[in-house]
Structure 1
Amino acid sequence: MTNTPKRQLRLAWGGATDQGRVRANNQDAMFADWGIFVVADGMGGHQGGEVAANLAVRTIANAQRDTAEELHDAISAANSSVHNTAAEQPELHGMGTTVTALAIIQNADGPQFRALNVGDSRIYRMRGGQLDQLTDDHSYVAELIRRGELDEMSAASHPYRNMLTRAIGVHPEVEIDEWTFEPVHGDRYLLCSDGLTNEVTDVEILKQLQRGVDPSSTARALVQLANNRGGRDNSTVLVIDVHVENINDIGEASSFTAQSRPILTSPEEPSTEETHTTKAFRSTSESSANKGRSWLFDQVAIKFATIVIALVLAVATTATITSIGWYARSGYHVSIVGDHVVIQKGRVGGLLWFQPTTEEWTEIQVTDLVLADQERLRDGETTQNLSEARNFIANLRERLIRTEAGN
């Protein structure tokens, strides 16, 4: 009697993430373990984006996700978790995140892939030397491209290219793109945040995936390439290799096996460049002339030098504090305080103990703004002077009026 061949699915994966060359922190998050791969790109100011991305990823990682329905519920739970946390903590108001996920589910035909997506992080598949983007970007510019109202070249410089039309946590409920497909031997999948795709073209991504090196090395190479191109945003990459085998001996076959360790928001990769520091020590001999100096002369000289050094340090410290204070209080920026858009004097986020002060409040509320403007203002929009800040507010009002008129 001949047994019907059973498929065995083996996966090998690797990931890399980096804050880039411009951002002060990394607001991306990722998770990879036993048939679930997730990348999230947070938004919402200095802290909110990081909280949103990690909260979403951890919620999905801890959820039951063996079926398509359970995976859908896991993404919905992540949306609720981010939304509720933002509602409970005013300093996180308006935060959100993208989520793109590739998972293994079991059905009567064996293991299958299930993809889910919200936002503009992406899933690519390389098959037979061809790279295909499997996900649709949920962004204003992508919608214009799909409607034929904008081309790819114009989209790259469009002022609203970062404005999302869907995100996890912004609203109580979210629409999720999701579909199921067969795993094919030799396929290589890539999950990434837009920090990669904004710097690296699809042709360049394909070239890296075709090099045939292991997933971890490929992921690191892609992140490094994004940084070499400017690294204007955080970039996160997961690479998954697919191996499918038919095994006659069902007793020895498992439907899914892994060949890599779990990943949960990997720390920043250390630099491979080594720095060697050589300390030079020089010994000197006391001359016979110096041996004759009196002990009293030495003590007076030491005390005098100590007083002079103390005075110099005091003057330097006072000058430094004065300079820091002047710098910290110079300039203006448009930001968000509570639920309102305001004009503040001083540096965004403050400097040491010098915090910005609110100069003017506006009637514009956070909920009036599109997601791109919310994220922009939570990071602070720096202006040269008060007049420029007021002009920015005036332009913002005009855009809101046009938007309301269009609706």
Structure 2
Amino acid sequence: MIDTTGFQWLSASCTHVGRVRQINEDACLDQAERGLWAVADGMGGHTLGDLASRLVIESLNQLPPAPSLAKLMTDARDRLQTVNRQLLTEAESRGAHIIGSTVVVLLAHGRRCGYLWAGDSRIYLYRGGTLRRLTRDHSQIEELMSRHQLSDEDAMTHVARNLITRAVGVAECLELDEETMDVLDGDMFMLCSDGLSNEVPEQDIRKALVSRDCRDAAEAMTDMALQGGGRDNISVVVVRAEDMFSTERTVLNPAL
């Protein structure tokens, strides 16, 4: 997609059932032409997680064009609130305790983008050779670490490592965190489910993104997650922004 500001968006995605699970409860959305990307992870161990993630993605895929990033973000929040109510109703009608899903969404409009999330699916930014996680997991582990009650090493084996505190379909009112930012030429974003982030260290994520090729990076990270054990479903979306009007781009500068 090239918009009127001269930004071109490129992307690629992969989703894999992994080596242990029988059903892929992940779903992803990869719509570079619309500036719309998302990953949803149906809650493992609960009923119909695949249904939950699919409904989240299908609803986001129906977002109409918007005149501004603010309106696009509002529409995305509204759709996720609607899916939240649908999943609560579905769970009640089926006699299920929970039918839920995490979600992380990236929205692009002009030279800005926004992202919103609930749960432990993540989004990273690769800029100027540096990788930075943009989201904070909504999980018991993250809360313990933020209070300095748990080390990074202990978090890897803690009994609560898979317990999330927010998701679509678990509470009457869905709590979403969100941020917006300016986009720079060469920025790369990576959205993923915890089936990837639990298996692939951040230094290896960075190495995969150095190639600048969205498809190669997405496939490389999926392969690394499988080699790491593939204990959960794996989903990844890689997005790259290019400023077609930039006078600084050069093949000799890998940071662009």
User: How would you bin the TM-score normalised by the shorter chain?
Assistant: 0.7 to 0.9
Question: For 1:47 and 1:150, how far apart are their aligned partners in 2?
Answer: 31
1 or 2, which has the higher helix percentage?
1
8 Å CA contact 2:14, 2:236 repeated in 1? yes
Q: Does 1:18 align with 2:10?
A: no
Going from structure 1 to structure 2, the CA distance change for 1:22 and 1:206 (only over 3 Å counts) comes to: same
8 Å CA contact 2:104, 2:122 repeated in 1? yes
| Deviations, residues 44-69 of structure 1 (Å, cap 9, x unaligned) | 54751111110111112113462122
Q: Does 1:97 align with 2:96?
A: no
1:43-192 equivalences in 2 (<5 Å): 43=43, 45=45, 48-64=48-64, 66=66, 67=71, 68-90=73-95, 92-105=96-109, 110-192=110-192
Aligned AA for 2:142? A
Pairwise CA distance, 1:245: 3.1
Question: For 2:204 and 2:187, how far apart are their aligned partners in 1?
Answer: 18
1:32 aligned partner: 30
Question: For 1:205 and 1:177, how far apart are their aligned partners in 2?
Answer: 23
Counting aligned pairs with the same residue, the percent is 37
1:215 aligned partner: 214
2:241 aligned partner: 242
Question: For 1:125 and 1:74, how far apart are their aligned partners in 2?
Answer: 25
Give unmatched runs, 5+ long, in structure 2: 247-256
Question: For 1:47 and 1:143, how far apart are their aligned partners in 2?
Answer: 26
Aligned residues: 236
Question: For 2:83 and 2:37, how far apart are their aligned partners in 1?
Answer: 15
Aligned AA for 2:48? G
Moved more, 96-105 or 64-73: 64-73
For the residue of structure 2 that corresponds to 1:246, the secondary structure is: coil
Pairwise CA distance, 1:137: 0.1
Question: For 1:82 and 1:244, how far apart are their aligned partners in 2?
Answer: 40
1:333 aligned partner: none
Going from structure 1 to structure 2, the CA distance change for 1:44 and 1:94 (only over 3 Å counts) comes to: farther
Question: For 2:118 and 2:44, how far apart are their aligned partners in 1?
Answer: 16
Pairwise CA distance, 1:88: 2.0
Q: Which has the larger radius of gyration?
A: 1
Question: For 1:230 and 1:202, how far apart are their aligned partners in 2?
Answer: 16
Pairwise CA distance, 1:230: 0.7
Pairwise CA distance, 1:71: 2.1
Question: For 1:144 and 1:64, how far apart are their aligned partners in 2?
Answer: 39
TM-score between the two structures when normalised by the length of structure 2: 0.88
Pairwise CA distance, 1:82: 1.9
Give unmatched runs, 5+ long, in structure 1: 1-5, 248-407
Question: For 2:163 and 2:80, how far apart are their aligned partners in 1?
Answer: 21
Q: Does 1:8 align with 2:2?
A: no
TM-score between the two structures when normalised by the length of structure 1: 0.56
8 Å CA contact 2:46, 2:98 repeated in 1? no
Question: For 1:76 and 1:63, how far apart are their aligned partners in 2?
Answer: 13
Question: For 1:45 and 1:157, how far apart are their aligned partners in 2?
Answer: 19
Runs of 4 or more, structure 1, over 3 Å off, are 44-47
Aligned AA for 2:137? D
